[in-house]
Amino acid sequence: MSPFATPAVRAICRAGDVVRAYFDVRGSGILVDATTATCLPTEIDVTPDEANPVSFTVMNTGEGSDTFNFSVTSLPVGWTSTTQSQTLGAAAGSTANILVSVPADAPVGTFTVKAFGVSNTDSTVNSESEFKLRVVLHQTSITYTGLTSVPWGEPAGFKAQVNDITDPSDKISGATVNFNLTDGTNTLTASALTW
């Protein structure tokens, strides 16, 4: 038997100035791939103050079964990632499903992070792949539902319905709603918190 082995080449990206490919040689290995079908970094929308699902493709490129821990690294300060452990047989592929928690005060923008996989038994067996997390805010709507007029001298009540258009099942609590009552010259303002 020849002492030389031909490597397998996996996750080959399209031709360009920089080409990403995974060279699979004999021995233990893990492939983490967070790119799109056209080899661009995946971009996933995440929302502040939520645990956001993130998925990426993984493969045990070794000749034997192994257990790997998958997570998202290089996160901005204050962000956190869960870790998923999977046992994969030789040459078995799978999908890692991670939750990334984004703090409530995270700015809107796009952040480059890394999908990461590492062997549970040998930390030198690892792989990473860059992708992007884009912080987006939920779209909300507010509809005034209170009285529009009352007899002179009677107390007036103000009501409004605040809805999350992006996720109607998500309850918006603790948001400040300002009511402005004006006659064109004078304005009276009242505030309330959603519950």
Residue 124 included in any domain: yes
pLDDT at residue 2 in the model? 46
Does 159 share its domain with 67? no
Q: Is the pTM of this model over 0.75?
A: no
Average pLDDT across each block of 10 residues of the chain; the chain has 195 residues. List them in order: 52 61 68 84 92 96 94 98 97 96 94 97 94 90 85 84 81 82 85 86
Residue 16 included in any domain: no
pLDDT at residue 76 in the model? 97
Does 176 share its domain with 144? yes
Measured in degrees and rounded to the nearest 5, phi and psi for residue 71 equal -160, 180
What's the order of all strands across the beta sheet hosting 126-135?
A: 43-46, 126-135, 109-119, 66-73, 84-88
Number of domains in the chain: 2
CATH number of the domain where residue 46 is located: 2.60.40.10
Does 189 share its domain with 158? yes
Residue 112 included in any domain: yes
Tens-digit pLDDT profile for residues 11-59: 566 666 665 665 555 668 899 999 887 778 899 999 998 899 999 999 9
Does 120 share its domain with 145? no
Does 37 share its domain with 131? yes
pLDDT at residue 43 in the model? 96
Rounded CA-CA distance 92/161 in Å is 50
pLDDT at residue 22 in the model? 56
